[in-house]
Structure 1
Amino acid sequence: MTLHLSAEAPVAATPQKYLFGPFIDFLMLGGSAILILPVLYFVPLEYESLLAAVMLLLSHVINQPHFGHSYQIFYRNFARKVRGDGYSRSLQLRYIIAGIVVPVAMAAFFAYGALTGNVRLLGNATNAMGFFVGWHYVKQGYGMLMVDAVLKRKFFSDQDKKVLLFNGYAVWLFAWLQTNVVITERQFWGLQYYTFAVPPWLITLAMAIAAASSAATAVMFINRWRKHGGVLPYNGVVAYVVSLYAWILFVTLNPLWLLVVPAMHSLQYLAVVWRYQTNVERDRADAIEKPELKILSIFGALYRLRVTTFIIVGGILGALGFWLVPIMLIDLVPYDKAVLGSSLFLFIAWIFINVHHYFLDNVMWRRGNPEVSKYLFR
């Protein structure tokens, strides 16, 4: 989730100290990686296959709903957003571009590649997905730090934020370049794609910049810790550090990490989205009323039922987008499977959703979005 939040929270808002609580925030924002990833590193080889299957299933259960939630929030009252009713001109244009232009352009790209049988062109979409996913992880980790800083009233200066962002981009770029040291052929859902041959001197330069920016960031954190009496927005710091280093830079140290990291990234996202949606539902006039059906009274107030419904719908959307609709299209739409493989629509759906998700979040969670200001920090 890309959060462009200023250090100045709305004055009229009364922020919570935590999204859900100190321990839950720690686990969901990134602390789970500190507890789980080291253990996975020492799993005996004979258990790796079983654990990999469990982790992959867990990733799907947690990861795919978080994509569904982004569509639920982004396209809610979309006509009003397109009209600019209550939104600035720049934000209105961003909603139009991310919500209409980008998906139409991607659909045209995939349609052209599939109709012409251009496997090489389609394969380039996998490179783009890797590029945007890493960028997305960095911006979400930074965003979580900003959220926690606002909640704790431990604001970062503009200069500090520049250091944090520069370091995030430097570490991400170095990690991405490392995956393109030599030209290699790989596969994603049966379609081949190729990495790039990056010159060794560029890798060395990127590594030096990432190391220097990491050191500068560490110094900045230490100085802030001293200046503020040994206090930092610790859960946010954990989210930032884990996102950059455990989930991007060093994730390839263990194959099991690659399977579980998407679930941890999604937990980080869900912490904010579920709090945001809870505040949205609490703001409704009938939020504290009881459901009319007696069987639904177990949820208590109506807002709890609505939040639960929101979560369930997100899970359904994730299943539809990643599995059910693509598999149905594979069976119903004729295409050259000898050239494009037997999983073309799974390939398209996974890349489309991952890339589009970056553009959606880049708009939804920006500074100046009135919904973020109203509901996230209540």
Structure 2
Amino acid sequence: MALDLSVDVSAPKAATPGKYLFGPVTDFLMLGGSALLILPVLFLVPLEYEGLVAATMVVVAYLVNYPHFAHSYQIFYRNFARKVSGNGYDRSLQLRYVFAGIVVPLVMGAFFAYGAATANTRLLGYAANAMFFFVGWHYVKQGYGMLMVDAVLKRKFFDDRDKKVLLVNSYVVWILAWLLTNTAVTKGKYYGLEYYTFAAPSWIAHIALLAAVASTAAAVLMLINRWRRNGGALPYNGIVAYVASLYLWILIARINPLWLLVVPALHSLQYLAVVWRYQTNVERDSQDAARDPQPKILSPLGPLYRLRVLGFIVGGAALGYLGFWLIPFVLTALIPYDRQVLGSSLFFFIVLIFINVHHYFLDNVMWRRGNPEVSRYLFR
């Protein structure tokens, strides 16, 4: 999932000084601050408890991770006919909705159908490579997007040159992290299917390291300069999100095996902070938002809009379970294929990669600059 929320500094007039998604502490924890608290603790976990902690983290990651994917589908395909017809959307955005919402899933569906029908493990392995490559791009773009969101809400804007410094640093750190995991050909398994990393020359990784040090230094100097211009103020929660996404979740993700299990949940939690605020504002815009829910037994939940937001969250959890567990389970039971070659988890492999990759395309359309729904429902 990649948030592209680099809005124009003149766009979000609805935001007010000191605005938060939910509150200073909640924003800090959800946008990335929790990583600063959890990572040190993981190094103190005794060896005999690592298995229990790992199992717990996997469950937590799934509880948070699945809904975060599902929410992108709920938002993207809502009023989809209006979006692809161009009703209220410019031509460029309309075509992006068509491409991400129709063309991409058809192409991926054909790719996986051919790979499964021909039992082509090498071809299917390329899909795993692609997912792992783009996940870094997705993480750093989301971290950058979170910084831009917080900057808009706090009215502490970055100019175009500042944004370029931040973006260049994001991409350089991403490439460095990818190269560090691809300095030699290694074989891995993902849901029973083998894939291979690439043997990138070590000298390229060294150059990338120097570039990352330089770009990080440039970003730090830019932030210091911006802090001075702002009279000693910055969108601090956004900076925490940016730092966590680039350095804690990508560059040093493999510093601890348990940390590698925690990172997806923290990344998803960051995304949920934006989505839940966005959906809350959507529901608040309805004419009957302040009305008491019916029946009366639901009144402790508050106004009707809160009940609808809760329904959105529960629906995301159900949709996540449907997509990641029930659908691949049914497909595995009903569709025959060469299990000796492709293993017993083929459809879990396909669905997981399909949703991950498609999620990147959906987010790149939904949260981009120029989408009228972003400025209307998020920046206030």
Same fold (TM over 0.5): yes
CA distance in structure 1 between the partners assigned to 2:13 and 2:222 by the alignment = 30
CA distance in structure 2 between the partners assigned to 1:244 and 1:292 by the alignment = 45
Secondary structure of 2:194's counterpart equals: strand
**Offset of 1:179 from its aligned partner?**
1.1
Deviations 1:213-243 (A, max 9, x none): 0111111111111222221100000000010
Deviations 1:73-109 (A, max 9, x none): 0000000011011001000000000000101100000
1:242–1:11 distance in 2 versus 1, CA, 3 Å: closer
Secondary structure of 2:195's counterpart equals: strand
Secondary structure of 1:76's counterpart equals: coil
CA distance in structure 1 between the partners assigned to 2:260 and 2:72 by the alignment = 23
Query: Of 189, 202, 208, which aligns to 1:206?
Result: 208
Secondary structure of 2:288's counterpart equals: coil
Deviations 1:185-217 (A, max 9, x none): 100000000011101111111111111101111
Give the AA of the match of 2:235.
P
Secondary structure of 1:192's counterpart equals: strand
Query: Of 103, 107, 126, which aligns to 2:128?
Result: 126
Query: Of 355, 358, 363, which aligns to 2:357?
Result: 355
CA distance in structure 2 between the partners assigned to 1:131 and 1:280 by the alignment = 34
Q: Tell me whether 1:82 sits opposite 2:65 in the alignment.
A: no
Range that drifts further, 10-19 or 142-151: 10-19
Range that drifts further, 323-332 or 342-351: 323-332
Deviations 1:28-87 (A, max 9, x none): 000000011111122111111000000110000011100000000000000001101100
CA distance in structure 1 between the partners assigned to 2:245 and 2:351 by the alignment = 25
Q: Hey, what does 2:273 align to over in structure 1?
A: 271
Q: Hey, what does 1:309 align to over in structure 2?
A: 311
**Offset of 1:14 from its aligned partner?**
3.5
8 Å CA contact retained: 1:167, 1:217 = yes
Q: Hey, what does 1:155 align to over in structure 2?
A: 157
Instruction: Kindly report which structure 2 residues correspond to 1:215-294, keeping only aligned pairs within 5 A, or say none.
Output: 215-294=217-296
**Structure 1: tracts of 5 or more residues without a match:** none
Q: Hey, what does 1:93 align to over in structure 2?
A: 95
Query: Matched residue pairs, number?
Result: 378
Q: Hey, what does 1:138 align to over in structure 2?
A: 140
Q: Hey, what does 2:108 align to over in structure 1?
A: 106
**Offset of 1:295 from its aligned partner?**
2.1
Deviations 1:245-280 (A, max 9, x none): 000000101001110110100110000000000000
**Structure 2: tracts of 5 or more residues without a match:** none
Give the AA of the match of 2:250.
I
CA distance in structure 2 between the partners assigned to 1:376 and 1:224 by the alignment = 24
Q: Hey, what does 1:33 align to over in structure 2?
A: 35
Q: Tell me whether 1:3 sits opposite 2:4 in the alignment.
A: yes
Deviations 1:122-176 (A, max 9, x none): 0110010011111110000000000000000000010000000000000000101
Q: Hey, what does 2:50 align to over in structure 1?
A: 48
CA distance in structure 1 between the partners assigned to 2:3 and 2:338 by the alignment = 38
8 Å CA contact retained: 1:7, 1:150 = no
**Offset of 1:297 from its aligned partner?**
1.6
Q: Hey, what does 1:345 align to over in structure 2?
A: 347
Secondary structure of 1:114's counterpart equals: helix
RMSD, matched Cα? 1.0
8 Å CA contact retained: 1:7, 1:155 = no
1:71–1:47 distance in 2 versus 1, CA, 3 Å: same
Give the TM-score of the pair, scaled to structure 1.
0.98
Instruction: Kindly report which structure 2 residues correspond to 1:309-328, keeping only aligned pairs within 5 A, or say none.
Output: 309-328=311-330
CA distance in structure 2 between the partners assigned to 1:11 and 1:70 by the alignment = 22
8 Å CA contact retained: 2:67, 2:320 = yes
Aligned residues: percent identity?
A: 69
Give the AA of the match of 1:13.
A
**Offset of 1:12 from its aligned partner?**
4.2
Range that drifts further, 80-89 or 223-232: 223-232
CA distance in structure 1 between the partners assigned to 2:241 and 2:206 by the alignment = 27
CA distance in structure 1 between the partners assigned to 2:292 and 2:332 by the alignment = 44
CA distance in structure 1 between the partners assigned to 2:39 and 2:111 by the alignment = 37
Give the AA of the match of 2:150.
D
CA distance in structure 2 between the partners assigned to 1:275 and 1:125 by the alignment = 33
1:100–1:297 distance in 2 versus 1, CA, 3 Å: same
CA distance in structure 2 between the partners assigned to 1:73 and 1:166 by the alignment = 29
Give the AA of the match of 1:159.
R
**Offset of 1:3 from its aligned partner?**
2.1
